[in-house]
């Protein structure tokens, strides 16, 4: 189980006062749970993901996975970035097997597992191409296969479809939802798209900006596959949107005593 307990993160920009990116975040993810973190840009959602990935350290608080403290990157928690994260000098297959090479999985076994995950994302026939020969959507599929191939416990996704056109984005959301039903990993998915969050998540966490803090949490128990056009879906999206930016109480959120209101109205459908 992934536990984020009272985590804060402050950045020391040169010559200025410390600005805090995240304040007092507490979030627990059950195994197999798909959590979407939604928020406007600058609310610290990417920072939260980087902390869980171990690429950065929290200023205070602790993050643990199965009671073990997270203090550095580890393939039990892989990260899918927004774009350009594939290695252009490697073929598609060898991008996917990169993490396996590092674990000294034999070449043949690694290739077999690589092909398995490429099949899952529907790209095994492209295994000998290089990333620059693929479209943006295909590249993100390869990045997903690469992150899955090391069979992580937690999959972190940082706006992975943010740079794609709407059509491709919708198709990849669909594929990811199906994939998650089969794979059942713990996923922490960061996005600024409410619709994307509502389509994918078991639970949606809204982050409010400056400093980044949890504004609201929504359990989503709409049946899968979800229909983006259904009234329940749209009602949920509207409710999230209304809470996306802090209200009058939330605006004074720099006051630490305000944390109670920041975590108000957990609303469930």
Residues in contact with another protein by the rule CB under 8 A:
53-55, 73-75, 77-79, 81, 84-85, 87-89, 98-99, 101-103, 130-132, 146-147, 150, 156
CA distance 160 to 122: 17
Q: What is the nearest approach in angstroms of another protein to the Cβ of residue 58?
A: 17
Asked if 9 contacts 46 with a C-beta cutoff of 8 angstroms, the reply is no
Distances, alpha carbon 208 to alpha carbons 21, 96, 242, 249, 264, in Å: 11, 35, 12, 12, 12
Q: What is the nearest approach in angstroms of another protein to the Cβ of residue 211?
A: 23
Instruction: Give the largest Cα separation in the chain, rounded.
Output: 59
Q: What is the nearest approach in angstroms of another protein to the Cβ of residue 51?
A: 12
Looking at the Cβ atoms of 75 and 137, the one nearer to another protein is 75
Tell whether omega for the bond before 225 is within 30 degrees of 0, i.e. cis: yes
Looking at the Cβ atoms of 121 and 240, the one nearer to another protein is 121
Q: What is the nearest approach in angstroms of another protein to the Cβ of residue 21?
A: 17
The string of DSSP letters for 90-153 reads S-HHHHHTHHHHHTT--HHHHHHHHHHHHHHTT-GGGTTS-GGGS-HHHHHHHHHHHHHHT--S
Looking at the Cβ atoms of 76 and 183, the one nearer to another protein is 76
Looking at the Cβ atoms of 57 and 252, the one nearer to another protein is 57
CA distance 54 to 74: 8
Looking at the Cβ atoms of 85 and 236, the one nearer to another protein is 85
The string of DSSP letters for 1-32 reads -EEEEEEEEEEE-TTS-EEEEEEEEEEEE-TT
Q: What is the nearest approach in angstroms of another protein to the Cβ of residue 102?
A: 4
Q: What is the nearest approach in angstroms of another protein to the Cβ of residue 141?
A: 15
Burial of 177 (0-12, 13-18, 19+ CB in 10 A): middle
Looking at the Cβ atoms of 154 and 214, the one nearer to another protein is 154
Looking at the Cβ atoms of 85 and 93, the one nearer to another protein is 85
Asked if 137 contacts 164 with a C-beta cutoff of 8 angstroms, the reply is yes
């Amino acid at each position: 189980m992934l536990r984020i307990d009272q985590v804060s993160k402050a950045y020391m920009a040169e010559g200025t006062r410390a600005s805090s990116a995240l304040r007092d975040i507490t979030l627990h993810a059950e195994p197999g749970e798909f959590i979407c973190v939604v928020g406007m840009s600058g609310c610290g959602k990417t920072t939260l993901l980087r902390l869980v990935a171990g690429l950065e350290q929290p200023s205070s608080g602790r993050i643990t996975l199965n009671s073990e403290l997270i203090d550095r990157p580890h393939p039990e928690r892989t990260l899918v970035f927004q774009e350009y994260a594939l290695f252009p000098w490697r073929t598609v297959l060898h991008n996917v097997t990169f993490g396996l090479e590092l674990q000294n999985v034999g070449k043949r076994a690694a290739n077999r597992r690589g092909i398995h995950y490429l099949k899952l994302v529907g790209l095994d026939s492209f295994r000998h191409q290089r990333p620059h020969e693929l479209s943006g959507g295909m590249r993100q599929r390869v990045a997903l296969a690469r992150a899955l191939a090391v069979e992580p416990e937690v999959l972190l996704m940082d706006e992975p479809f943010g740079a794609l056109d709407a059509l491709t984005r919708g198709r990849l959301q669909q594929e990811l939802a199906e994939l998650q039903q089969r794979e059942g990993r713990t996923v922490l998915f960061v996005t600024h798209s409410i619709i994307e969050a509502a389509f994918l998540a078991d639970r949606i966490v809204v982050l409010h900006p400056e400093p980044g803090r949890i504004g609201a949490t929504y359990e989503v128990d709409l049946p899968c596959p979800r229909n983006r056009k259904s009234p329940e879906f749209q009602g949920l999206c509207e409710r999230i949107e209304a809470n996306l930016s802090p209200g009058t109480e939330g605006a004074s959120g720099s006051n630490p005593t305000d944390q109670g209101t920041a975590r108000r109205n957990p609303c469930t459908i």
